Amino acid sequence: MTRFLPCDASTLPPLKALGASASNRNLYRTSQPDGSILESFPCPFTADVGGVVRIEAPEFTSLCPITGQPDFAKIVVAYTPHDLCVESKSLKLYLMGFRAFGCFHEACVNRIAMDLVMLLAPKALYVRGEFTPRGGIAFWPTATFPFVPDKPNANAPQCQQELRL
């Protein structure tokens, strides 16, 4: 029986995060996010069949930059790829970099969005941080690309529709 491969593995770029993990221990950093860890691969969607990629990271943690208390969140990313998709293990390692990093909720979400935009140059991107309430207040900051000033409902419409917002 022939095994179906959706793409030719020989044409993929060398992916450092995926594979020999033991030899890549330097990628397992928790003190500061590093966008250079993020890796991509060619988008398998065609011009005839577009798509939206939705990713949820339910175990995101960072530190309050003032108190040092831990903050917990589910990070939701949705994007319409142009030519590239993010490799999931590299995204996991990147998000792990926030674990011992002091950063306000809004800054975390914005940094994630900006690093993904720099890597992927997507048609549209949406990042939401669903932070666990602290003191009875829940923060769910959102970053969108492209951003249309004065028209919040126009920002990343395909991604928002996918997320049913």
Is residue 22, in this structure, part of any structural domain at all? no
Q: What is the pLDDT of residue 3?
A: 39
Q: Which residues are catalytic?
A: 64, 71
Whether residue 144 lies inside any domain: the answer is: yes
Taken in order 54, 55, 61, 66, the sign of the CA dihedral is negative
The pLDDT, as a whole number, for residue 64 is 93
Quick check: helix, strand or coil at residue 162? Answer: helix
* Residue tagged 């249309």 (tokens): 148
Q: Is residue 1 part of a domain?
A: no
Residue 21 pLDDT: 54
pTM of the model: 0.80
Residue 149 lies in a domain: yes
CB 87, CB 17: distance < 8 Å: yes
124, part of any domain: yes
Range of the domain at 123: 47-162
Q: In this structure, is residue 53 part of a structural domain? A: yes
What's the number of domains the chain is made of? 1
Q: Please report, in tens digits, the pLDDT of each residue of the chain (165 residues total).
A: 333 345 555 666 666 666 655 455 666 777 789 999 999 999 998 878 888 999 999 999 999 999 999 999 999 999 999 999 999 999 999 999 999 999 999 999 999 999 999 999 999 999 999 999 988 999 999 999 987 666 655 555 555 555 554
pLDDT at 63: 95
With respect to residue 10, please indicate whether it lies within any of the assigned structural domains.
Answer: no
CATH number at residue 117: 3.30.1130.10
77 domain residue, yes or no: yes
